[in-house]
């Protein structure tokens, strides 16, 4: 009997006579035995390898399971299928954060609230990709911001002459 290639591999030539003729699915994809046409085993072309879903990537060549597709970490998203490295995951724009892993579009990024901001490079050891609301930095005492999703402390406005604010994270000059 002819033998199917193992999961994570395919063969696209007739008359093959060795296991080594089986070709690995590329990183960012996987093939699960028994998922072929009508449940058949034995993938016969590279397009049988299934791309990891948006929000996920896989660095593994010859992957045989969907579980080897890994979520982008919180603070990042990916909006394409078949990603093959964690560097494909995209940081939220400055002024925004994502507090869950596996995000699949930039709309998942949440604006810092008024009175707070987030600048690229402010993360742990300068890393980008804010991953929680507390990463948004409060405007200093004496300053306020009425805008959401601001990306620099320069967006915090000084109180007018003759007025003061004695709290941080103020979102209005009246606070």
Taking only the tens of pLDDT, the chain with its 175 residues reads 788 888 888 888 888 888 888 889 999 999 876 655 444 466 788 888 899 999 999 999 999 889 999 999 999 999 999 999 999 999 988 889 999 999 999 999 999 999 998 876 655 444 567 888 988 989 999 999 999 998 888 899 999 999 989 999 999 888 7
> Of 105, 104, 116, 175, whose CA–CA distance to 149 is shortest?
116
What CA–CA distance (Å, rounded) separates 172 from 175? 6
Decide the pairing of beta strands 116-117 and 110-111: unpaired
Distance CA 163, CA 170 (A): 14
88 Cβ contact partners less than 8 Å away, ≥ 6 residues apart:
57, 78, 80
Residue 153 is predicted with a pLDDT of 86
Alpha-carbon distance of 78 to 84, in angstroms, equals 11
pTM recorded for the entire structure: 0.80
The pLDDT, as a whole number, for residue 122 is 56
């Amino acid at each position: 009997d002819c033998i199917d290639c193992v999961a994570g591999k395919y063969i696209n030539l007739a008359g093959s006579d060795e296991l080594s003729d089986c070709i690995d699915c590329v990183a960012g994809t996987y093939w699960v035995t028994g998922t072929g046409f009508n449940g058949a085993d034995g993938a016969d072309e590279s397009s049988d390898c299934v791309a990891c879903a948006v929000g996920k990537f896989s660095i593994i060549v010859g992957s045989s399971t969907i579980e080897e597709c890994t979520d982008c970490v919180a603070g990042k998203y990916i909006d394409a299928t078949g990603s093959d490295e964690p560097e494909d995951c995209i940081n939220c724009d400055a002024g925004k954060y994502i507090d869950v892993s596996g995000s699949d579009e930039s709309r998942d990024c949440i604006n810092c609230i008024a009175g707070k901001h987030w600048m690229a490079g402010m993360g742990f050891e300068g890393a980008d990709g804010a991953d929680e609301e507390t990463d948004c930095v409060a405007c200093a005492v004496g300053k306020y911001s009425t805008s959401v999703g601001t990306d620099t402390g320069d967006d915090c406005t000084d109180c007018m002459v003759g007025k003061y604010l004695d709290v941080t994270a103020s979102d209005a000059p009246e606070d």
